[in-house]
Amino acid sequence: MTPRIPILALALLLCTGVTIVAQPSVERDVASARDVYRQVEHEIAARRLARNDSTVACGALDAEVRRYLDATGRVRKLTVEGGSGDHAETVDYYYDAAGRLRFAFASRGAVNMTHQEERVWYTPAGSAARRTRRVTAGPGYPFGDLSAVPDPGEWHHVWCG
């Protein structure tokens, strides 16, 4: 049985001129972000994105950074690998053709043999549409949340502080 709006409530909405705006569908945003992921990975496999690597030391963190750039010089994928004495992580950030962050995937490991994966799908406006996190092995470790990098040129501010 489908829920029904009481007729009086519907009449009040119509008479007051209130506009009901549907929120963007989370599933549509996730599907769109998955399309960006697939497109970028396809472009990398077809060697249509130029790879640019660097290594940066910031505090106790040594980070290896890979950028995959399209023909216009826009970053489509940013990979940051880093860690400390007791844990390491790799985070892949995926950007659409307009340069907006749409998906991020973190793979983490700790010295106590804990492994964790975190995925975040972003809306075109930049908010998190969905976030999943799961421990794939080990007793657990207090990994922090995956931080968004909306501007790939500013990744070091997120990672290095």
Contact assessment for residue 49 and residue 69, using Cβ atoms and an 8 Å cutoff? yes
| Residue 127 neighbours by CB under 8 Å, 6+ apart | none
Q: Which residue has the tokens 């790879």?
A: 51
Confidence of residue 24 (pLDDT cuts 50, 70, 90): low
Q: Model confidence over 26-72: pLDDT tens digits?
A: 899 999 999 999 999 999 999 999 999 998 887 767 789 999 999 99
Contact assessment for residue 8 and residue 14, using Cβ atoms and an 8 Å cutoff? no
Q: Which residue has the tokens 């930049």?
A: 126
Determine the average pLDDT of the residues in 94-107.
97
Q: Which residue has the tokens 């489908």?
A: 2
Instruction: Give residue 16's pLDDT.
Output: 42
Helix, strand, coil tally for the chain in percent (to 5): 25, 40, 35
Confidence of residue 160 (pLDDT cuts 50, 70, 90): confident
